[in-house]
Structure 1
């Protein structure tokens, strides 16, 4: 490192020569020069795997399909970029499609499946993609309904079918150069409006090449792709390992957002490096405290390189890291933004190659003085989509002092919005010390207040486990500083904590305090969900200031009382303000924080106050306004409740359904099961178990398959038995011997290479004895397993589970069973069974308290709220 000759407040990284190439050209060069071994594993997505040769072949076919699909499409991108959108959940297919897009000579723009419809509409209108490739789930496709006049939409299953007809195996990236756009990544920016950042191949490779040089891969390394594609860290997670010939393991969002699951998966796959936001790292350390340091360190022993990015890394967290991992582990603190290809500095703000940082306040400031941080160099984006004169990307006058631009790549500056000052590290090297965000600075009674300083002060209290400080309506008359705090119960009471905060903060700095059980995190990247917290406070204020703009919503006088009740319930359940609900009245409930689980909660709460809507009516409604129109007073019999379902067909399982049924059940439990996610029981073990008892399943004629009435595709499977006439045993592939069926994967865990199954049979027996359930064959139907297809979205999942629960009751009644018994670990089916069908709870089991016969605690990492419920429905009294 050396100081820039332009002034004492500039920091410049080393300059290195890197080949002028594109991402795809660099990848294909690796396949020919030995850097990448074609037959080595490239992508692992559960049971699905791709070698590098397969990735190359498949992505070539994808490129050809894309090229054909857009051949006659006019390009309306404002910058002339050829852009292809992707809205796909993390998977092996997603990675292959990204490579295919780049091979087609286009740039990819990611749309997260959680984005609301209006945000997607703005992005499409802004960048005008030639094509959007998305998952075939109904709720995802619906988000593009309003923009089909602006872009084509291609489902992933359609794309893969078209690949089968492709003859040519040749594709290139259109002879694109290194300065062409490779990625368009949207960020909300300080204004809240999404801005598309245009990242070139050169910027992308410069960022990656620096990391390869500074942190080279060791033999046998394994990396993980877990960050949402819409965030810059995903670029390094995907392309960093793959362009060097190392495998990427795909983790789904559930794993990425839950520290216990993440730790389990990192251990199961021997992941060697990982990127986390500091709040997730903190949550991991709290999990270690729960399970004990020895067990926690064991689970994370394979991860040698930790990268923190996206939030400020505090000294206390840094100290805690080295207390847990005192030696042979590396922790990096990366700094950057989307406009800087995610990262431009590492460790204590030392600089990446071909990057220069400047601290300015109208001009260069002196060493030690605080100013705004500006960045120049190869990592800079080309600019924003359709914006040629952004105040963020400025000409670099400091390289033109002599009338000559010193470096072509340094002709532009990016304004970061961060404050910093230049200082010397203990080793004598210069570094820029972070001094906070410009947008975290507010004025209170004409005095500057830094929210990050308040947060740091409160986080240092022993009474505080976690804290996030935000400002409600900064600069407005009702401006309020709020501190959301998770209290440390072993050190605090509420009164004591309030007193401690008053002692360390000046009067104008003291926040309004709100206590939470947990700080909410964004599922896409693990950062604090700031908007949800602000919405929570806004909703609280609205209870004091009644929402009074009902006349603007075009709601009839007859519907108004129902609307007010519906708004109140949705607000309470989703933590969404009345204003937000009103603004999105013509958007889907599932786009404003709705999910399969809280949809049922809304339905139940409406019933509790005398309003009725069926699950099919609720989940099929395209908008909240449509939900409102379908709600009826409870005493009025709704017309749709008992109508025959026209979307699905239900039929008993037969031999021809075997492959579909085995896949749906195995996928549902191995990849999506709430409980099974903690223990890594593989897909193949579930498949083997179902196949072992398949003949009995078909013969009993108590199980069924649900198919789409439109295309015949399988969407759900229900497996049932007479609880006193179940198959005695099945042959376990893991043990190589027979096991009792009751040891099915309801309570599964892995110990070394041994897979053991236990369904808490003792609990079932106790339930039977305590509750005097009907005894004997033909008395009690056991709903053994329910599964839905991976292509089913949240709204359809609610509808399907309700339909299958109704089918279970119908089967029980037709076969003259006296009751239905189930052991359930899924919160959605628990809710539907208990609140909508009147199942009686017999026993509840807190999963993390379970002790196996050999003394092991396989679910120790599960949260306290994770329960298994044994319950039953009495069909005799229900008649």
Structure 2
């Protein structure tokens, strides 16, 4: 249908194995003898990194959900780079509704005669996509209300049937059924047998079974037009979400009287999952959302809207259109952004102008989607942001004379950190604080001991699972045992602020020349674990010999630092470790990160290579127990390496 070209050498594999699109991303190129570039999830989320990768490898085709397409187009528009992604000729949208407005945006950026945008339709039960439509250019799109899902692919038959399994007339809406060799045999354990049924219209045995998709469609001028689902399922960020399941979860919150969950503008940039509720007791929208965050996956948590009453139709059913209209009217009100709470506490005078632009821009973008106050300590994604509206926010900032890279915006731990990284056209902006580094001296022992103890005993990600077995004195004994070797090796340093206050410490060793230290406390579990995951990498994958591998052993910051100051100090220490490695002629830096912050900084900002990604709750210690067994599956320890150029 869309054969590989003679110039295609490398194809992209970026979809999770749990999504059916991964099958064609893997096997399509391999069958043709082409190479596959495996793209990490973190890169897919960052348009800046993804575009750079697509450019570097001259990728010619890409399968993606429409929300990612919109994010990429917004980034490309932001960059103002001519001929970017000119090699990427084939764009295939699948997994979500492709809307006309997004299709127009695509062809405004990419010439129609050089690039092709396709809309594919399908699901896991039918082995992926079963219909396709080549989206025409701007002239044709002007006359369209919806982007069709097109015609069936080879060896597949599509039926539009009524409730009695009779074909509907051309132009009428019917339920969409699929037949062909691509159908699954059924669900596990025979669940939902009504979804896989005998085909009363079949002549060919290959089409003896029908799969009931649960979607409505109609035929117009020989092509299929999608008309929504027969049930309450929608797509949110590429995930299928059952509105009735979300509604049930909302109604189960104590104090809720009635709840109606709807999807506003599915497929559009301002798509929103909404829960309209009435309550029996005095509750706030944020309180209800906080409860739902504990019970639902993040993409299923709706924006809660309190109502005095739920509007009804004359037949007594919920007036869903009235609810959506009330949300739309509120969000389109020019003054509605002032409903979002903005808190300027903690903003220094030199940053007030930039903070006003940043906070009010975020308020206008998030609007009623804002989950909490906009402040220096707020994280953009935790208060309602996502990858798509983050690009839109950056675009709005650009229009107002402030610039920040996508990578810097995404990796910022809070809006205070965003402020530090924003650059004004007028150059009137707050410069980030400056720090200085000094090699360890005997007189720094007490403050180093205090920072190590506070950082690891109170905040470390591994220690929390054995906290009842360790004490603060264990860390003091550890530092005491390491102190003389640290001074002797002369590879560690403290960090001072502009005022001379010691705010951070980095302890480093030559990975091939580390001291033997006897640890008598329960901390042995931590170091046995680290050796278990670091040892094979150090011994088998890194350059041999002393003076080649600098081991970034421990980093700690002062407990008085704010979140944004903490990130700034951590970044400074990473830069200083790199300088140290270069000055001492090490080949590279070796480290293990157990916290999400240092993992993000190491991967996204400092570009460390991941050598081992370990799920901590699987570790079995020498006493045959799982000391971190209660940790969630997503808690990782990542062993990383960075060559020094």
TM-score bucket (shorter structure): 0.3 to 0.5
TM-score (norm 2): 0.42
Q: Which has the higher contact order (CA 8 A, sep 6+)?
A: 1
TM-score (norm 1): 0.32
